[in-house]
Amino acid sequence: MLNSPHHQQEIQGYLLMFGSIIIFSLLPYYLQFLAPVDGNSLFAYRVLLQLIFGFIFLFLVNKVFEFKAIFSRTKDMWLMSLTAPLIALQWWVFYWGPVNGETINIAMGYFLLPITMSLTGRFYFKEKMSPLLVLAVIAALVGVAVELYTSHSFSWVTLLICLGYPPYFVIRRKSTISTSTNFVAENALLAPLALTLLYITYQQQQPLLPASDAGLWLVIGAGLLGTIAMIFFVSASTRLSFTVFGMLNYGEPILLMLVAIFLLNEAILAQQLLSYGCFAIAIVLVIINSSLRIIHNKKRIY
């Protein structure tokens, strides 16, 4: 039924997910207007503003009590002491990378993330992998090998993203805290680090605000956009099936790659084309696998 609650919820999920993808993909371009503020300070502002806007969100949805309760539960604090540093690295590289010419490598990290997540599922959670996913993993590993052979190195930014997220999600599965509340709590734990980074920047007499007359508002805007995108992302995850949600996540790295090439003037080197071709094959195989699962699940429903 087109007007059924389930259908309306699914439409909401798509709209929220598309909004999240567009905001996250355009953030690297937006950050260029915050020059000459460095990546460490941008990350610090992100944490503090996410904490402020996130807390406002919890207040509006009446979840402040849940936030307070976290800090009285030993298990939750122990888990967050592990997840907060892991997610901090991801937030940091997403704001540091674009102002240091690393947007393409960020996009590649998100392209390879489903591969490393599949491997985590296979070897840690003992989940079965379809033949297409096995081929995707092989193609990705060949791409890494080619990159190492031709360049004698591999982007640490890409590795940080595709290898850093799986441990975070593994630990998060052990927590019973809602995603939005956990998001705000992690920012609260990271706030002292953020304040320390801003203090160091001040002591070194480096710029704390963009050169523009509207510098303060641009910084606030970055924090607000990041928070909105995160809330959209989390809300979409509860309204869409896991398979569809996972497949739509490919929209972000695709748009990130386009933003890097056409708006930030970053380039893929000629010697990287072969390895990136292998990664592209892996991505296509994952998308085909996800599409087949969606079709199979719908046939089972009907």
Q: State the residue for tokens 């508002």.
A: 217
pLDDT digits (tens, 9 = 90+) for 35-89: 899 999 999 999 999 999 999 989 998 989 989 888 888 888 999 999 999 999 9
pLDDT of 287 reads 80
- How high is the pLDDT of residue 269? 77
Check residue 3 and give its pLDDT: 60
CB atoms < 10 A from the CB of 202, how many?
12
pLDDT tens per residue across all 302 residues of the chain: 456 676 688 788 889 989 998 999 999 999 999 989 999 999 999 999 999 999 998 999 898 998 988 888 888 899 999 999 999 999 999 999 999 999 989 988 888 887 888 788 888 878 777 888 888 888 888 888 888 888 777 889 999 999 998 899 888 888 888 888 989 999 999 999 999 999 999 999 999 999 888 889 999 999 899 888 888 887 887 787 665 676 677 788 888 888 999 999 988 877 778 888 888 888 888 788 877 876 776 666 55
Q: What is the 3-state secondary structure (H, E, C) of the chain?
A: CCCCHHHHHHHHHHHHHHHHHHHHHHHHHHHHHHCCCCHHHHHHHHHHHHHHHHHHHHHHCCCHHHHHHHCCCHHHHHHHHHHHHHHHHHHHHHHHCHHHCCHHHHHHHHHHHHHHHHHHHHHCCCCCCCHHHHHHHHHHHHHHHHHHHHHCCCCHHHHHHHHHHHHHHHHHCCCCCCHHHHHHHHHHHHHHHHHHHHHHHHHCCCCCCCCCCCHHHHHHHHHHHHHHHHHHHHHHHCCCCHHHHHHHCCHHHHHHHHHHHHCCCCCCCHHHHHHHHHHHHHHHHHHHHHHHHHHHHHHHHC
Distance CA 196, CA 190 (A): 10
Yes or no: say if 120 and 127 are a contact pair by the CB < 8 Å rule. Answer: no
